[in-house]
């Protein structure tokens, strides 16, 4: 939809606008007419889709034909049963197997357990034993199976663009090897997409030993060097941080999005949420201060958030360090006015339980200040450990060094492993020209991408789920990556390509990985490492920091001028990363956590800046930096720092495949310079006339200013723990049928304090329940199919609002308005209280959705799946969930297939279903454990305990629908609150 | 003005009008009867199989247990079909040169699986689970009939939803002690009524949990 903002509204909306509490978008705040029309249409823009041009005669013919053919639908076509020839050990058809492996996230791995049905991987779950996962997954991991079955993955080696065989490449590689043997590697280089794989490291070290003149370059477009430089300067070696949030009482983030970025984010979210779980007046919470240069999930979770230009974070860090220094000297921490004073006072009061984290993309001086504060607090080695980084393979430089080497003719043969520099290179490096001068360019990658197209040889990379490899987690723990399926196409691992180059005639990835671990793991230990998904005892030991080597804060940063200059903050797309996942429809259509944008990116600006520019959402903005310009549509982000724009990397890829081509979006790499890859200053903006379509799921299913998200401060909660209780009508105050639940009564509790809004649950739900993606045009009509949505509410002034997240699945009402209106009984109440949807009965009246107060039902307006000729991607479908056809309603089922599986297992054993035996997909993926599910009739169940929490409440309880899904009100822990429930909370 | 239609036209018109309604009802009656008939439900029809495997011979005459070939029936939703290897455990020793078994030997040699025609097929939106039925005392022959008397496999029952539900609503008449579920031509003891009642109790069979839509459709 194209939303409009009135010229006068964003800058200074009348204060009365906030009187009705939380708001979800600036349009809603301004009460725009267009939004009202959009919201009031039950399924927006339906009239546009009504079949046009069908006259009465054609309609009658169609009706007659469908009547005549209707009976035939019951006929089952002849089917074949194809048993195994030799049935593999452990395989029982119909019973899934689970294998532990690890999936890459940046250079590091996150442990995963993958479900496999007769050799076909269908679903990724987190590995509870892996320190980077702790059982949780993120959206990108959930998309891994669909990516495996992406029909557009590279399928065959290409020689000069023409299909060739792996054997032909082996011949070629061996000729190349003979030459490199002679020249000891002169003129040859390898460009690495860095990955902390011990086997890859071993292979590269061996290659370099054999050919000393071989060069090695690293290119990670999402890496930053600030922390490495800071630790190098302070301790003489590069170190990686390992925050221990479980030990931290006061956390200060200096532009660090530790809940949503970085290889340890899932683990951080877990312990962060655990330290803030409040169930009674005596429970305590940690306190988070976040200063940030673009709205992030960490900022949304913070108790005190400060938005500032990215170039000012350095000055802020220096001031904070000075404040801590002063307060420590005085020895009497006392809160002053302002963010810095409050943060400094809390840090000093917490002492070793204080923690300051600096954003990876921030320059070294910010990291130096953060280290200095941590050292001063005594937090080093306590709430902040430092470890040797796992991917510390010595290289000859980055992409710029490579381009320079090619320029002077020192490199003529290049092997690119995994990277796609022709898309991800800084704009001021002419990589295309440099690569054009190469005598030979060999590219190894999953897609024939921008680099693969121009390479002399392209070797398809095997997907992670097809590969033997190994990878280290954020704390150094190693995992063996094991394949779930033999390569679907002719994909090869990087290990095999390197081994071929080293002269191996029949490279075998398993043998290569096993050889790496030959000494460390004997055969039983190897088997155990595969089973557990982690190699025991491989976590990096914290480095002992001598107190004497405490870094100095360093000189204060020069404060940038105010002026008209604009700061640019580059951020990776949360799902597409540097663009490598651009061809994943699941990820393209997964709403971004804060903006709720889908199928494209926009340039984020603050409401004040938009008002100054007189920019409407979607209007094109020209951004100029160092002589380069790009045009991008504007999106107004409440809480965005003024004088700054946020550009998202990873979009706008022309050569990534058919799915990526459907998406809109600009390519921010075209503006990014090599000197300042993350934070650029001195940009100029100019508004252009055209308006581009920017798609968002933000306005859909608006709840019209009711008392939806209830929240209080910790002090307010302690004073009145049941502040969230409303006054629901009496249970029997209803005309609806009454139900008894003599068996189980399934229920769910969602803790809004724990929820960080990361969208893992939505993607997990989509992967588990065969939920289709619908594409940008259908999204524009408000027809995305996600059974679970995460609503994002803002509260307060647009330039510094509070942000609340509320996941909304089906409420499974005990007195469900949907059930009574269905004319064909297609939505029915079950004995355990589910609102079951029967697809085969549904005739698509959509009355149920009309009557659902929570707007959680989704209708298949078009056929999203090809039933006659299913494509390769259909292999990712969960065999235990029906694939829905056009014209039927669907919605969250509480993962009824998992309930059924647990019930069958329990009934076979003749026992009750145990607590924790049924885990819904959203619950399983949640890094913060915000979702609890179970049997309400079991008083000992975890969900019953959660329901008994004093701040448990039901959405729209005044309707007396008696939802089974309820919420725990959000509790924040701001400093110095007066003990009153916050405005907007239920009073 | 003369009349356009002759008096007899009245009768013809009445006949056509009534006749059309009767014909319509007849069509519906015949159709509803037809879809329930064995012609449509494919009961007692044996499709041609790549190998004319005889359950009468293997089960009835040789007495091989169901689970020798259908190994998943106690643990999985799917009973499973034997891998070629399972056939060859015996047929590498006996009938090693029978023409009838040539496809089996070829399958093992080439690695190409046998392609059997499905006899007991359910639509894709039905999630049937063998294991739970076996454990709750529903015997193989209750649904699959006298398999030990079938030279070629055929359906013994219609497998329609109404047929499934008749038992899910009232399972008692179809129950037997779980130890007996693999027995063919089982003779119920004298006190079977009492046994069935106690089975309902002991096995925790509750029709309330068996008739929800999601038990089979999800």
Instruction: Give the position of tokens 């009497």.
Output: A332
Give the CA distances from residue A257 to residues A182, A357, A756, B53, in Å, rounded to whole numbers and listed in that order.
49, 9, 11, 65
Give the ipTM. 0.91
Decide: A760 and A928 in contact? Cβ < 8 Å.
no
A772-807 core/surface letters (b: 16 or more CB in 10 A; e: else): bbbbbebbbbbbbbbbbbbbbbbbbbbbebbbbbbb
User: If we measure between CA atoms, which residue out of A538, A478, A487 comes closest to residue A199?
Assistant: A478
Range of the domain at A334: 240-387
* Chain pair A-B, CB pairs under 8 angstroms: 129
CATH of the domain at A817: 3.30.70.20
Q: Using CB atoms, pick whichever of A94, A834, A907 lies closest to residue B78.
A: A94
In eight-state DSSP terms, residue A51 is P
Between B85, B112, B132, which is nearest A904 by CB?
A: B132
Answer yes or no: is A839 within a domain: yes
Q: Is A88 on the interface with B (CB under 8 A)?
A: no
Please check whether residues A404 and A348 belong to one and the same domain. no
* Residue A772, token pair as written in the block: 């289709």
Tokens of A524: 């039983």
What CA dihedral angle connects A975, A981, A982 and A983, to 10 degrees? -160
Element (H, E) at A324: helix A313-330
Please determine, for residue B158, whether its predicted confidence score (pLDDT) is greater than 70: yes
How many whole angstroms separate alpha carbon A727 and alpha carbon A732?
A: 14
Q: What distance in Å separates residue B9's CA from the closest CA in chain A? A: 30
What pLDDT shows up at residue A558? 54
Q: Inform me whether the C-beta atom of residue B206 falls under 8 Å from chain A C-beta atoms.
A: yes
pLDDT, mean of each 10-residue run, chain A (987 residues) = 36 37 64 62 50 64 61 62 91 94 94 95 96 95 95 94 94 93 94 93 94 94 90 88 93 96 95 94 94 96 94 92 88 72 93 94 92 92 90 84 95 95 94 94 95 95 96 95 95 95 91 96 96 94 75 57 78 94 95 94 95 93 94 94 95 89 93 92 92 82 69 93 86 84 95 96 96 94 93 88 94 95 95 94 95 94 87 91 94 96 95 95 97 96 95 92 95 71 35
Site from A94, A771, A840, A905 to mutate, B interface, most B CB atoms within 10 angstroms: A94
Q: Which two three-digit tokens encode residue A232?
A: 């190098």
Q: How many domains does chain A have?
A: 4
Please report, in angstroms and rounded to a whole number, the separation of the first and last CA atoms in chain B: 69
CATH number at residue A255: 3.40.228.10
Q: Is A742–B82 a contact, with Cβ atoms under 8 angstroms apart? A: no
My answer on whether A716 and A668 are in the same domain is no
Q: Of A119, A85, A77, whose CA–CA distance to B118 is shortest?
A: A77
Q: Residue A805 is encoded by which pair of tokens?
A: 């997240």
Q: What's the CA gap between A869 and A789, in Å, rounded?
A: 31
Q: What's the pLDDT score for residue A4?
A: 36
A895, with CB counted inside 10 A (0-12, 13-18, 19+), is buried
**CB-based contact (8 Å) between B77 and chain A?**
yes
What is the per-residue pLDDT for A985? 35
Strand runs labelled E in A359-426: 384-387, 413-417
Nearest to B61 by CA among B141, B150, B143: B150
Q: Are strands A478-481 and A304-307 parallel, antiparallel or unpaired?
A: unpaired
Strand partners, B49: none
Chain A contacts in chain B segment 11-40 (CB below 8 A): 31, 35, 40
At A367, list the tokens. 């990291």
Question: Token pair of A345, please?
Answer: 């006072």
CA distance A69 to chain B (A): 12
Closest residue on chain A to B114 (Cα): A82
Residue A109 covered by a domain: no
CB–CB of A83 and B116 under 8 A? yes
List the single residue in A74, A83, A830 with the smallest CB-CB distance to B214.
A830
Residues A864 and A939 in one domain: yes
Residue A967 CA to residue A931 CA, distance in Å, equals: 9
Q: Is residue A717 part of a domain?
A: yes
Q: Which residues pair with A415 in a beta bridge?
A: A190, A442
Rounded to the nearest 5 degrees, what angle is found at the Cα of B193, between the Cα atoms of B190 and B194? 95
Same domain? For A264 and A298 the reply is yes
Q: What is d(CA B15, CA B31) in angstroms, rounded to the nearest whole number?
A: 23
Residues in contact with B50: Cβ distance below 8 Å, sequence separation at least 6, in sequence order: B103, B114, B115, B116
DSSP assignments along A69-129, one per residue:
HHGGGGPPPP-EE---SSPPTT--TTS-EEEEEEEEETTEEEEEEEEEETTEEEEEEE-TT
Q: Collapsing DSSP states into helix, strand and coil, what is residue A965?
A: strand
What does pTM read for this prediction?
0.91
For chain B, say whether A90 makes contact (Cβ under 8 Å). Answer: no
Separation between Cα atoms, residue A209 and residue A217, nearest integer Å: 16
- Which structure tokens are listed for B212? 């929800």
pLDDT digits (tens, 9 = 90+) for B29-84: 999 888 888 878 888 888 899 999 999 999 999 999 999 999 999 999 999 999 99
CA A390 distance to own-chain centroid: 23
> Same structural domain for residues A401 and A382?
no
Tokens of A654: 């022309």
Q: What is the model's pLDDT at position B173?
A: 93
Count of Cβ atoms closer than 10 Å to residue A937 Cβ: 17
Decide: A490 and A155 in contact? Cβ < 8 Å.
yes
Testing the interface with B: which of A81, A839, A898 to mutate, by most B Cβ within 10 A? A81
Give Cα separations from A436 to A149, A411, A653, A674 (angstroms): 33, 12, 21, 20
* Closest-CA residue of chain B to A90: B72
Q: Is A654 on the interface with B (CB under 8 A)?
A: no
What is the rounded CA–CA span in Å between residue A917 and residue A933?
10
**Cα gap A55→B172, rounded to integer Å:** 55
Question: Measuring CA to CA, which residue among B88, B150, B93 is closest to residue B113?
Answer: B88
Of A637, A663, A696, the position where a domain reaches its end is A696
Token readout for A75 is: 């006929």
Verify that A770 and A874 share a domain, yes or no: yes
A907/B135 CB distance under 8 A: yes
Is A603 contained in some domain? yes
**Are residues A568 and A641 in contact, defined by beta-carbon separation less than 8 angstroms?**
no
Which positions in chain B touch A117 (Cβ < 8 Å)?
A: none
Q: What pLDDT, on a 0 to 100 scale, did the predictor assign at position A979? A: 37
Is residue A483 within 8 A of residue A496, CB to CB? The reply is no
pLDDT at A544: 84
Are both A365 and A401 inside the same structural domain? no
Do A336 and A273 lie in one domain? The reply is yes
Residue A500's Cβ-count burial label (10 Å; 0-12, 13-18, 19+) is buried
As a whole number of angstroms, the distance between CA B165 and CA B158 comes to 12
A820 and A890 belong to one structural domain: yes
Answer whether A890's CB lies under 8 Å from A884's CB.
yes
Q: Is residue A838 within 8 angstroms of chain B, CB to CB?
A: yes
Query: What is the model's pLDDT at position A54?
Result: 62
pLDDT of the residue at A237: 87
Handedness of CA B184, B187, B191, B192 (dihedral sign): positive
> Which residue in chain A has the smallest CA separation from B108?
A85
- CA A53 vs CA A56, A57, A837, A862, A887: distances in Å: 10, 11, 33, 18, 20
Which residue, of A516, A545, A573, is where some domain finishes? A516
Domain residue ranges of chain B, discontinuous segments joined by +: 8-36, 73-80+122-218
Classify residue B89 by burial, with Cβ atoms within 10 Å: 0-12, 13-18, 19+: exposed
Q: Which residues from chain A sit within 8 angstroms of residue B208, using beta carbons?
A: 742-743, 831
The Cα–Cα gap between A419 and A221 comes to: 9
> What is the distance in angstroms between the Cα of A87 and the nearest Cα belonging to chain B?
6
3-state DSSP assignment of residue B22: helix
Residues A747 and A661 in one domain: no
Work out whether strand A965-968 and strand A746-751 pair parallel, antiparallel, or are unpaired. Answer: parallel
* Nearest chain A residue (CA) to B133: A908
The dihedral of CA A635, A640, A644, A646: what is its sign?
Answer: negative
- Range A519-547 burial, b when 16+ CB lie within 10 A, else e: eebeeeebeebbebbbbeebbbebbebee
Residues A337 and A457 in one domain: no
Residues 6+ apart with CB under 8 A from A905: A917
CATH number of the domain to which A471 belongs: 3.40.50.740
| Separation CA A811–CA A799 (nearest Å) | 33
Taking an 8 Å cut-off on Cβ atoms, the answer to whether B124 and A882 are in contact is yes
Q: What distance in Å separates the CA atoms of residue A926 and residue A755, rounded to the nearest whole number?
A: 8
Whether A836 sits inside 8 A of B212 (CB atoms) is yes
A92 belongs to a structural domain = no
Segment B93-145, tens digit of pLDDT: 999 999 999 999 999 999 999 999 999 989 989 999 999 999 999 999 999 99
- Cα dihedral: A882, A885, A889, A893 (round 10): 10
Q: What is the pLDDT of residue B91?
A: 94
pLDDT at B42: 81
Q: Does B135 touch chain A (CB under 8 A)?
A: yes
In this complex, which of B85, B125, B215 lies closest to A840 when CB atoms are compared? B125
Last residue of a domain, one of A347, A364, A387: A387
CB–CB of A257/A394 below 8 Å? no
Within this chain, do residues A624 and A668 fall inside the same structural domain, yes or no? yes
- Give A 374-403 residues with CB within 8 A of chain B: none
């Amino acid at each position: 939809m194209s939303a409009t903002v009135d010229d006068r509204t964003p800058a200074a909306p009348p204060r009365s606008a906030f009187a009705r509490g939380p708001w979800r978008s600036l349009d809603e705040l301004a009460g725009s007419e267009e939004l009202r029309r959009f919201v009031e249409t039950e399924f927006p823009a339906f009239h546009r889709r009504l079949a046009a041009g069908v006259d009465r005669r054609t309609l009658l013919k169609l009706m007659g034909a469908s009547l005549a053919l209707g009976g035939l639908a019951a006929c089952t076509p002849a089917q074949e049963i194809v048993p195994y020839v030799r049935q593999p050990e452990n395989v029982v058809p119909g019973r899934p197997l689970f294998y532990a492996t690890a999936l890459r996230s940046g250079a590091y791995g996150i442990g995963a357990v993958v479900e496999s049905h007769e050799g076909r991987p269908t679903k990724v779950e987190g590995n509870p034993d892996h320190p980077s996962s702790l059982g949780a997954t993120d959206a990108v991991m959930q998309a891994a199976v669909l990516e495996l079955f992406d029909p557009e993955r590279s399928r065959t080696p290409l020689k000069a663009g023409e299909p060739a065989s792996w054997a032909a490449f082996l011949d070629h590689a061996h000729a190349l090897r003979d030459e490199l043997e002679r020249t000891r590697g002169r003129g040859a280089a390898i460009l690495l997409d860095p990955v902390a794989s011990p086997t890859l490291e071993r292979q590269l070290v061996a290659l370099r030993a054999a050919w000393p003149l071989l060069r090695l370059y690293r290119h990670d477009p999402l890496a930053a060097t600030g922390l490495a430089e800071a630790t190098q300067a302070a301790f003489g070696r590069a170190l990686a941080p390992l925050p221990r949030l479980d030990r931290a009482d006061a956390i200060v983030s200096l532009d660090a999005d530790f809940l949503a970025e970085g290889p340890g984010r899932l683990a951080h979210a877990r312990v962060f949420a655990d330290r803030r779980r409040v169930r009674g007046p005596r429970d305590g919470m940690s306190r988070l201060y976040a200063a940030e240069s673009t709205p992030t999930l960490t900022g949304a979770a913070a108790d005190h958030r400060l938005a500032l230009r990215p170039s000012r974070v350095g000055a802020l860090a220096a001031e904070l360090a000075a404040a801590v220094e002063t307060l420590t000297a005085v020895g009497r921490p006392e809160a002053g006015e302002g963010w810095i004073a409050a943060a400094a006072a809390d840090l000093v009061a917490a002492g070793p339980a204080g923690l300051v984290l600096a954003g990876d993309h921030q320059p070294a001086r910010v990291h130096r200040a953060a280290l200095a504060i941590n050292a001063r607090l005594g937090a080093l080695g306590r709430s902040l450990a430092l470890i040797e980084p796992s991917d510390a393979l010595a290289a000859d430089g980055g992409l710029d060094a490579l381009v320079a080497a090619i320029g002077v003719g020192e490199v003529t043969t290049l092997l690119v492993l995994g990277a796609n520099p022709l898309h991800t290179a800084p704009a001021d490096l002419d990589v295309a020209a440099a690569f054009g001068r190469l005598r030979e360019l060999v590219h190894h990658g999953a897609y024939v991408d921008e680099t693969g197209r121009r390479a002399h040889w392209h070797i398809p990379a095997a997907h992670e789920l097809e590969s033997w490899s190994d990878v280290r987690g954020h704390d150094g723990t190693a995992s063996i990556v094991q394949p779930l399926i033999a390569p679907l196409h002719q994909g090869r691992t990087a290990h095999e390509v390197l081994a071929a180059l080293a002269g191996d005639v029949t490279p075998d990835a398993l043998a290569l990985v096993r050889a790496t671990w030959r000494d460390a793991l004997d055969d039983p230990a190897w088997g155990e490492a595969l089973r557990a998904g982690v190699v025991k005892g491989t976590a990096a030991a914290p480095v002992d920091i001598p107190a004497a080597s405490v870094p100095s804060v360093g000189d204060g940063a020069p404060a940038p001028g105010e002026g008209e200059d604009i700061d640019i903050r580059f951020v990776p797309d949360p799902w597409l990363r540097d663009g490598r996942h651009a061809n994943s429809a699941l990820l393209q259509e997964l709403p971004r956590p804060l903006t709720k944008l889908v199928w494209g990116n926009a340039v984020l600006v603050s409401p004040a800046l938009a008002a100054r520019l007189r920019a409407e959402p979607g209007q094109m903005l020209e951004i100029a930096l160092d002589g380069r310009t790009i045009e991008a549509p504007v999106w107004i982000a409440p809480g965005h720092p003024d004088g700054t724009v946020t550009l998202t990397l990873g979009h706008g890829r022309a050569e990534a495949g058919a799915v990526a081509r459907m998406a809109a979006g600009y390519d921010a790499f075209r503006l990014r310079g090599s000197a300042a890859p993350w934070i650029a200053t001195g940009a100029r903006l100019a508004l252009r006339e055209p308006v581009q379509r920017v798609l968002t799921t933000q306005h859909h299913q608006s709840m019209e200013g009711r008392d939806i998200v209830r929240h209080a401060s910790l002090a307010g909660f302690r004073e009145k723990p049941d502040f969230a209780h409303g006054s629901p009508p009496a249970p029997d105050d209803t005309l609806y049928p009454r139900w008894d639940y003599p068996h189980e009564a399934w229920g769910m509790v969602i803790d809004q304090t724990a929820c960080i809004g990361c969208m893992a649950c939505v993607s997990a739900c989509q992967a588990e329940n065969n939920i289709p993606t619908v594409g940008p045009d259908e999204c524009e009509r408000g027809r995305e199919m996600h059974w679970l949505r995460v609503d994002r509410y803002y509260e307060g002034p647009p330039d510094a609002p509070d942000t609340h997240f509320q996941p909304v699945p089906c409420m499974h009402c005990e007195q469900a308005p949907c059930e009574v209106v269905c004319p064909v009984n297609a939505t029915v109440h079950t004995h355990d209280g589910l609102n079951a949807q029967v697809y085969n009965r549904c005739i698509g009246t959509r009355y149920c959705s009309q009557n659902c107060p929570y707007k959680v039902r989704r209708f298949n307006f078009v056929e999203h799946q090809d039933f006659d000729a299913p494509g390769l991607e259909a292999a990712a479908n969960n065999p235990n969930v029906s694939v829905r056809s056009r014209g039927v309603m669907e919605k969250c089922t509480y993962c009824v297939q998992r309930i059924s599986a647990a019930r069958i297992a329990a009934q076979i054993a003749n026992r009750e279903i145990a607590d924790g035996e049924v885990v819904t997909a959203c619950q399983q993926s949640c890094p913060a454990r915000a979702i609890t599910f179970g049997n309400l009739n079991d008083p000992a169940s975890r969900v019953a305990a959660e329901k008994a929490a004093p701040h448990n409440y039901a959405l729209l309880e005044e309707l007396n629908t008696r939802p089974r899904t309820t919420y725990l009100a959000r509790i924040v822990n701001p400093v110095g609150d007066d003990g009153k429930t916050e405005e907007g909370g239920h009073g | 003005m003369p009349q356009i239609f002759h008096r007899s036209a009245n009768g013809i018109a009445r006949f056509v009008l009534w006749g059309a309604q009767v014909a319509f009802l007849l069509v519906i009656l015949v159709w509803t009867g037809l879809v329930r008939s064995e012609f449509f439900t494919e009961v007692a029809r044996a499709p041609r199989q790549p190998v004319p495997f005889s359950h009468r011979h293997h089960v009835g005459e040789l007495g091989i247990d169901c689970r020798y070939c259908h190994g998943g029936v106690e643990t999985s939703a799917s009973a499973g079909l034997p891998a070629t290897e399972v056939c060859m455990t015996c047929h590498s020793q006996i009938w090693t040169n029978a023409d009838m078994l040539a496809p089996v030997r070829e399958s093992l040699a080439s690695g190409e699986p046998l392609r059997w025609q499905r006899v007991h097929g359910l639509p894709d939106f039905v999630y049937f689970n063998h294991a739970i039925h076996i454990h709750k005392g529903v015997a193989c022959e209750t649904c699959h009939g006298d398999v030990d008397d079938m030279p070629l496999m055929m359906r013994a029952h219609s497998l329609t939803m109404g047929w499934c539900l008749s038992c899910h609503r009232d399972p008692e008449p179809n129950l037997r002690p779980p130890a007996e579920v693999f027995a063919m031509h089982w003779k119920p003891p004298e006190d079977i009524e009492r046994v069935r009642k106690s089975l309902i109790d002991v096995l925790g069979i509750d029709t309330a949990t068996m008739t929800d839509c999601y038990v089979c459709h999800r």
